[in-house]
Amino acid sequence: MPAAGLILKFVAVPLQPDAVRFRPGQPLALSTYREYQPDPAVIAAVACTWRAVAGWPRSMRLLPDGCLDLVWDGQRARAVRPAARPVRRPVGETAMVTGIRIRPGWAAAVLGVPARALPDVADLADVWGSGSARRLATTIAAATTPANCRTVLTTAVARRLADSTGPHPAVLAAVSLLGEPTATASDAAERAGLSLRQLRRLFDDHVGLPPKALQIILRFQRFRAWGEVAGQERMPLAQVAAECGYFDHAHLCRDCVRLAGVVPSILVHAAPTQRSL
């Protein structure tokens, strides 16, 4: 399948969706992660909903995907802004974490504030106000199933979008263009009828990343999508690199090491198989 035809899935989790830890004299500890298709009513703004159980306390690596995540950890709701590099977040042992992943360009519409105003991780009470955050916490805490938790988050996002002026059209157009293999940040600015500096300011507010950083991340996610679809095919990685928008195999290797900490062949072989349920 040509790389240009791949659908980006905005995956930010570690390389494996499941992991098991065994220690003598202790029961097996299972770490799980699952993604779910978004509700059609919010699919333009939402890439997926998800749930995870860490299994044991540790620092978990998350890979950049250009998305904003709203996360409920069983006690508090938080907003996690996009990162340009892999980051590590502390995770607990058994608590289930539920999240909703917001596509690039929709952050300000969902948050109600510019994305640049956010720290890396923000309590939703500081973003939406204590009243809104408290109502969300009360509703989601009363949810009886993981599916209900995801529905509560989806409903909250739908309400925020209904009360907002929506995303900036020039930003969405630029994001769409940056998802194409050969596009550049300058191309996106020109398509939007803006200078690159003007586009950067808009991206600061509506994406939380510079256009160039998002372009690099989307290209990386394009390669990851290829790995999930075609991981068993014997296509030379140099050819894959070209189809995904890289100059050459070395360029692909540099980006994979920078954004995932591993070389492309390892990333492909570790491609998750249980996504978008």
Per-residue pLDDT at 110: 97
Rounded Cα distance between 219 and 205, Å, is 22
Instruction: Quick: pLDDT tens for 79-111.
Output: 999 999 998 888 776 678 899 999 999 999 999
> 245 lies in a domain?
yes
Percentage of the chain lying above the pLDDT 70 cut:
83
Clarify whether residues 265 and 247 are in a common domain.
yes
Contact 81, 208 (CB under 8 A): yes
**The last residue of a domain, from among 163, 186, 215:** 163
Per-residue pLDDT at 12: 56
Provide the phi-psi class of 183: left if phi over 0, else alpha when psi is between -120 and 50, else beta.
beta
Instruction: Quick: pLDDT tens for 22-32.
Output: 566 666 667 78
Per-residue pLDDT at 15: 46
Clarify whether residues 154 and 40 are in a common domain.
yes
Burial 12-21 (b: 16+ CB within 10 A, else e): bbbbebebee
Domain residues for 207?
A: 169-269
pLDDT beyond 60 at 16: no
Helical spans, DSSP H, in the chain: 107-111, 124-128, 130-141, 146-163, 169-178, 185-192, 196-206, 211-230, 237-244, 249-260, 264-269
Clarify whether residues 132 and 255 are in a common domain.
no
Question: What single DSSP character describes residue 4?
Answer: G
Clarify whether residues 90 and 153 are in a common domain.
yes
Q: In the structure encoding, which two tokens stand for residue 49, read together? A: 């909903």
